[in-house]
Amino acid sequence: MYYEQSGSKSFVISFVTSFFVTITLNILFIFLMPNITAKFGNTIEVPNLKGLDVETARQIIESKGLSLIIEKEVEDPIVEKGRIAFQNPLMGSRVKKGDIIKVIVSKGQQATSEEVIIPIITGLTLPQARVRLAEANLTIGKIRMEVSDKPESTVIRSVPQEGEKVPLKFPVELVISSGMGETIVPKITGLTITRARKVLEDNGLTVGKITQISDPEYGFDIVIKQNPIAG
């Protein structure tokens, strides 16, 4: 008789526990599901448009409830004329229905035999940019890092800019994103304002407010104080 009562109690406890666990899970599902749906259910993944002609890309984009606009056309020695060389947002990004996808369309190679067009390398990693430039008979010149909201270790811009004509084997300067992290402020006191500006830009910084004062110990156009200080 003792064992029968013990078994009945265990059954009741298990039943009550299971009941409350089920109720709790249902409540959590009811309250959390709208947030999950709002976060992920109403966004659309941006497809890869690079290499597609504009009409095909437009059909794909509009079928997903998005819009496509041509931001500009540039000469590109790699991408065939009339096809998309770059898109923003990039493939895999998530956007809302009705958002606009901007694309840059290639005008093809239109330079003379002694010149080449700097291809679109914005958004590429350094190894990818190196291959892309090599395919266009160009080389990588100076590389400098710059604080940016763009993905870390990707190309922000080139000097000269994409689409410009340059001689064969021309060394293209690349500016690479160092991410949103902090950077060390270089010492610029004692430099001319032109030289100070260059030093700051090489470290991903820009010149802020400039106050001019007279000081007999320093020549004209020399930085005598900086804020924040170096370091």
Q: What does the pLDDT look like over 195-231, one tens digit per residue?
A: 888 888 877 777 888 888 877 777 778 888 888 888 6
- Residue 76 sits in the same domain as residue 120: no
Instruction: Give the type of residue at 12.
Output: V
- Residue 47 sits in the same domain as residue 104: yes
Q: What pLDDT, on a 0 to 100 scale, did the predictor assign at position 41?
A: 55
pTM of the complete model beyond 0.75: no
Does residue 142 sit within a domain? yes
Can you give the C-alpha Rg of the chain in angstroms? 29
- Residue 187 sits in the same domain as residue 169: no
Domain boundary among 59, 84, 109: 109
- Residue 98 sits in the same domain as residue 125: no
- Residue 82 sits in the same domain as residue 48: yes
- Residue 59 sits in the same domain as residue 92: yes
- Residue 191 sits in the same domain as residue 206: yes
**DSSP character string of 99-166:** -EEEEEEE----S-TTEEEPPP-TT-BHHHHHHHHHHTT-EEEEEEEE--SSPTTBEEEEESPTT-EE
- Residue 105 sits in the same domain as residue 117: no
DSSP helix/strand/coil, 71: strand
The total number of structural domains that make up the chain: 3
For position 121, which CATH number holds? Answer: 3.30.10.20
Percentage of residues in the chain with pLDDT exceeding 70? 79
- Residue 101 sits in the same domain as residue 116: no
Domain that holds residue 156: 111-181
Does residue 80 sit within a domain? yes
Distance separating alpha carbons of residues 128 and 231, to the nearest angstrom: 33
Does residue 9 sit within a domain? no
pLDDT digits (tens, 9 = 90+) for 122-154: 999 999 999 999 999 999 999 998 888 888 889
Domain boundary among 181, 196, 216: 181
